[in-house]
Structure 1
Amino acid sequence: MTAEREGRDGMRIVYIHQYYCNPTMTGGIRSYEQARRLVARGHEVHVITTDITGGRRSLGWRRTDDDGIQVHWFSVPYSNHMSFAQRLRAFAEFMIVAAVKATVLKADLVFATSTPLTVAVPGVLAAKLRRVPFVFEVRDLWPEVPIEMGVLRNPVARWLAGALANLAYRSAEEVVALSPGMAAGVTARRPGTRTTVIPNAADLAMFEVAPEAVRGFRERHRWLGDRPLIVYTGALGRVNGVEYLVRAARRMAETDAEAQVLIVGHGKEWDETKRLAAEYGLLDRTVHMWEQVPKADLPVILGAATLSSSFVRPIRALWDNSANKFFDALAASRPIAVNYGGWQADLLTETGAGLVLDPYDADGAGVLLAAHLRDEVWLKQAREAAHRLAVERFSRDLLFAQFEAVLARSAAGRHRGLARAGQTIGEKQSGTA
C-alpha cells in the first residue's frame, strides 16, 4: 500500500473520534483501518481522540504515529461503569478540548464519527473556520436510542440532543450511516440529507488463523478440548443483556453437557452476568468469563469457536446496530447467533450464515443452540455462507473504497459550491446578475 501513496495528491484530513482504538487496544478498529488506508492512498490524517487507559485527566496533548496516522491523544477518564451523568461530563469535556485542537490543525476536510453525538461540535466548528467540507458518521442514532431505552428522560436534554443531531446533519456535506436503519433515522429527522450506508467491515486478513494456532488454543484450555464452543466478545453493558446467553446456556447444558460458552469483554453488567452464571452452577464449568482482550487476540478465539454470538435487549431501536462482533464472525467464517431482528437478522435468514433467536425465550434459544452445535452439515453450510458475506459484501477493502469515495465527493462538492458562490459574487459586482 505504500507504493500506492507515491505520486498522489492527497487531502489533509482531520478525523475526530473520541474512542479511537488501534489493534493493540480493546475495542473496534474501524477508524484505525480507514485512516491507515487513507494514509496509504496519499492523504495526511490527523486523528483527535481521548486516552482512557490511565484513568486520569490529561495535562496536555500527546502525539503518536499509528502506521502513518498522526494520533493526538488527550486523557479524559471514561468507563462503562460510569453513571449516565458521568458519561455526559466526559463527552462534554472532550468536546471542548477537541474543538480547540481541531480548529488549530490545518485541514482540507473534517470528518467526525459518533458516538457520542457531541463530537459533531468540534467537527462543525473546525470545518466552518477552515471553510472546508464536513462529513459526519453515525454509529448510533442519538437521541432516538437513549430515549427509547428510557435513559434520556429530561425534556430539555432531549431537545438539546435533537438540536445537536440537527446541527450535525445540516452541516455535513454527506452523512455516513452504519446501517440502513440509521440512514432512515437521519433522513427522517432531516429530509434531503445526503446519506450513504457503509456498515462495519470484515477484516479478512486479520482473521486468517493457522489451524495449528487454533488447535494450540483448544489444547491449552483443558475445559475446551474438542468440545463445541459458543463465543461472545464485546461489551457487557445495559444495551447488550448478555445474561440472555447465560440463561440459554443453562438450558443448553441440559441437552449437551459438553457444550461450552466463552464470554470475553467488559462493562457495567459484567459482575451481574458472572453472578448469574455462578448462581446457576455454570461458572467455570459451562460458562467461562474473561476480561477484555486486545483486538489482535480475537482471531484465534473466534477461530476456535463453533458459533459466535451478538445480543441486545429487546428494544426496537437497537435492531439498527452494526455490531463489530457480527462482522468479526463473518471474517472468521463463523456462524453467528443473534437475538434481535432488523437488517443483520435478515442477512442471516436469507443466507443461512447463522441463527436468529427469540429475544424473549432464552430457554428456547438454548435448545436451538444445542441442536445446531452438533449439526456438522449445517455448520459447514453456515461457515461457507458467512465467508461469502465477508468476501462479497463486507470486506474492509470493498467498504473502504466506498468511504474514500464519500470523502472525495464531499470535497469536490464543496469546491464546486465555493466556485459557484464566487461566480455569483463576481456577476453581482459587475452588474450582470
Structure 2
Amino acid sequence: MKVIYFHQHFSTPSGAAGTRSYEMAQKLLERGHEVAMICGSYGVGTSGLHGPFVNGLRKGVVEGIEIIELKLPYSNKDGFGKRTLTFLKFAFKSIRIALNQKYDLLFATTTPLTAGIPGIISKMLRRKTFVFEVRDLWPELPKAMGVITNPIVLTLMSWLEWSSYHSADACIGLAPGIVEGIKKRGIPEELIDMVPNGCDLKLFNKRSGGVGWRPEGVNDNDLMAVFTGAHGVANGLDAVLDAALILKQKIRNDIKLVFVGDGKLKQELKQKALESGLDNCIFLDPIPKIKLAGLLAQADLGLMILANVPAFYYGTSPNKFFDYIATGIAVLNNYPGWLADMIEEHECGLTVEPDNPEDFAGKLIYAADNRHILQEMGINARKLAEDKFDRQKLAGKFVDILEKVYRDHEKIC
C-alpha cells in the first residue's frame, strides 16, 4: 500500500528533533510499502532536502521516503499567534495534497491537533483509510497549563479533537493517559492501540565503545546531569535552576547541569542562571542525534523535567526518556506518572517530589556520592530499553496496525 504521512515537524536523524516518524517510515519501506511524507520546515529538524522551494514547496526522495516539504518555517521560539497561523497554513495546504495525491492510507500525527484536518477531509470526500496518532491530548494539556483560556477557542479545539478521533478508522496513542483520553471521547477500545516512543538501541548505547564528549566547563570527575529537548513553559526548567542554586549554596561544584535544546524560554533561563551566578548550569544549542548520543554516553544522569501539571503525569511520552534509557544512564524524574512508576519499578533512576528544590538538589548530591548505584541503575535502564522499548519492535507493531486497518477497511468497501 502507499501511505501518505502527515507530520509537520518531521526530521531525519541529521536534525536535532525527534525521529519517530522517520523510523516508522523506514519500517513501512522495509515491509514493502511506499511512503510520502508531508512536512513543514522545522527549525531544529531537517527533512533531508536542500534544493530551492518552488511554488511554496520542494520535493525529493530521502532514504527511500518521498518527501514533500512545505515552505512553512516553524520554531519553538515563535509566539502563540504565529505558531497557530503556521499550524493552520500547514493544515489547509495539506488538504490540497490529500485530495489530489494517489495513496491507499492517510496517516496523520500530532502535534499540532490541526494535523487531523486533512484526514477528516480525505475521509469525508475520498473515503480513504485514515489512522490518527495522538502524541499529546489537546485541548486538555494547554487548558490545564493555562496557555489557552478562551472558551471559544477551547470549544473549537475540542470539536476538532472529537472529529479527528471519530473520522479515523483507528487511533494510536503514545502514553496510557492518551489512550484513556481517546476512549473518553467515545472511541471503542478495539480501535485504539498504544505505541509509545521507543529506543534507538544502536545509536544510543553507553557501552558501545563510541566516542563520547563533555562540554567545556564539565570536568571528567564531575557528575554530569543532562536535559535534552524544548525549553518552554511546559518543561518547567526553573525547577532545575532552583536546585542548581541550592547546590551552589552547599558548595557542590562537582555537579554540573547541562541543558541541550532551544525554546521560547531559553534566553530567559540563561539570563536567570547568569544573574544568579549559576556556573554549574551549561546551555548548549540543539545538536544532531549522532552528536547527542556521544554527549549522553558521557553523562551520569538524564533529566526528565516537566511542569507540575497533572495532565502530564500519564499523558506524555517524551523522546528524551527513551534516549536516556537506551544509552544506559540513570534517569532523574521530577513529576509523578507512568514514567516515574517505571523508574521505581525497574530501579533505573531517581524520582523527585514536584516543586521541591531541596529534594531535587538532595537527589543530585546522592547521585554524585553514590556513583556505583548510578551504574547499576544505568544497567537496569538499558535492560528496560531492550526488553520493552526496542524501536524496531515497536515500529513493527506500528506497521502491523496500519496493515490490519487497511485490510479491514478494504473488506468493508
Q: Same fold (TM over 0.5)?
A: yes
> Which whole-Å deviations, capped at 9, do the CAs of 1:322-373 have from their partners, x for residues lacking one?
0000000011011111111111110001111111111111122111111112
**What do residues 273-295 of structure 1 show as CA deviations (whole Å, max 9, x unaligned)?**
11221122123xx1111111122
Q: Pick from 164, 182, 193: which aligns with 1:196?
A: 193
Relative to structure 1, the CA distance from residue 289 to residue 44 in structure 2 (aligned partners, 3 Å threshold; closer, same or farther) is: same
Report the counterpart of residue 312 of structure 1 in structure 2. 306
Residue segments in structure 1 that go unaligned for 5+ positions in a row: 1-10, 419-433
Secondary structure at 2:233 match in 1: coil
Alignment match of 2:371 (pick from 371, 376, 380): 376
Segment of structure 1 superposing worse, 288-297 or 26-35: 288-297
Q: Report the CA distance between 1:191 and its aligned residue.
A: 4.1
Correspondence 1:185 to 2:175: no
Contact 2:132-2:170 within 8 A present in 1 as well: yes
**Matching residue of 2:61:** 65
Matched residues in 1 for 2:371 and 2:17: separation?
Answer: 32
Alpha carbons 1:58, 1:76 under 8 Å: kept: no
The answer as to whether partners of 2:237 and 2:305 remain within 8 angstroms in 1 is yes
User: Compared with structure 1, are the counterparts of its residues 57 and 267 closer, same or farther at alpha carbon in structure 2 (3 Å cutoff)?
Assistant: farther
Once the two structures are TM-superposed, the CA of residue 259 in structure 1 deviates from its matched residue by: 1.3
Alpha-carbon spacing, 1:23–1:61, altered in 2? closer, same or farther (3 Å): same
Match of 1:148 among 144, 147, 151: 144
1:1-53: CA deviation from partner (whole Å, max 9, x where unpaired): xxxxxxxxxx1000000110111112100000110111111110000010144
**1:7-26 matches, cutoff 5 A:** 11-26=1-16
Count of aligned positions: 403
Letter in 2 for 1:80: N
- Is contact 2:119–2:168 with CA below 8 Å preserved after alignment? no
Q: What residue in structure 2 maps to residue 206 of structure 1?
A: 203
Question: Who is 1:389 aligned against?
Answer: 384
Paired residue type of 2:293: P
Q: Distance in 2 between matches of 1:390 and 1:38?
A: 22
Q: Cα offset for 1:318?
A: 1.6
Classify the secondary structure of the residue corresponding to 2:389: coil
Letter of the 1:287 partner, please give it. C
Aligned-residue offset at 1:77: 2.7
Structure 1: distance between partners of 2:338 and 2:388: 14
What CA RMSD, in Å, does the superposition of the two structures yield over aligned residues? 1.9
Is the CA contact (8 Å cut-off) linking 1:250 and 1:282 kept in structure 2?
Answer: yes
Pick aligned residue for 2:117 from 121, 127, 151: 121
Contact kept, 8 Å, 2:329 with 2:375, in 1: the verdict is no
Superposed CA offset, 1:158-194 (max 9, x none): 1110110111110111100000000001111224252
Query: Is contact 2:95-2:117 (8 Å) kept?
Result: yes
Letter in 1 for 2:211: A
Q: Taking structure 1 as reference, are residues 78 and 57 closer, same or farther at Cα in structure 2, changes over 3 Å only?
A: farther
Any idea what SS the aligned residue of 2:211 has? helix
Q: Which ranges of structure 2 fall in alignment gaps of 5 or more residues?
A: 45-51
- Quote the offset at 1:58 in angstroms: 7.4
CA offsets, 1:360-419, max 9 Å, x none? 11122111111112313311221111011100000101111211111011111111222x
Q: Does 1:169 align with 2:159?
A: no
- What residue identity is the alignment partner of 1:243? D
Q: SS at 1:382's partner residue? A: helix
Normalization by structure 2: what TM-score?
0.93
CA distance in 2, matches of 1:130, 1:206: 40
Structure having the higher Rg:
1
**What letter corresponds to residue 374 of structure 1 in structure 2?**
D
State the match for 2:85 in structure 1: 89
The verdict on how the C-alpha distance between 1:222 and 1:116 changes in structure 2, with shifts beyond 3 A counting, is closer
Conserved 8 A contact 2:107-2:130: yes
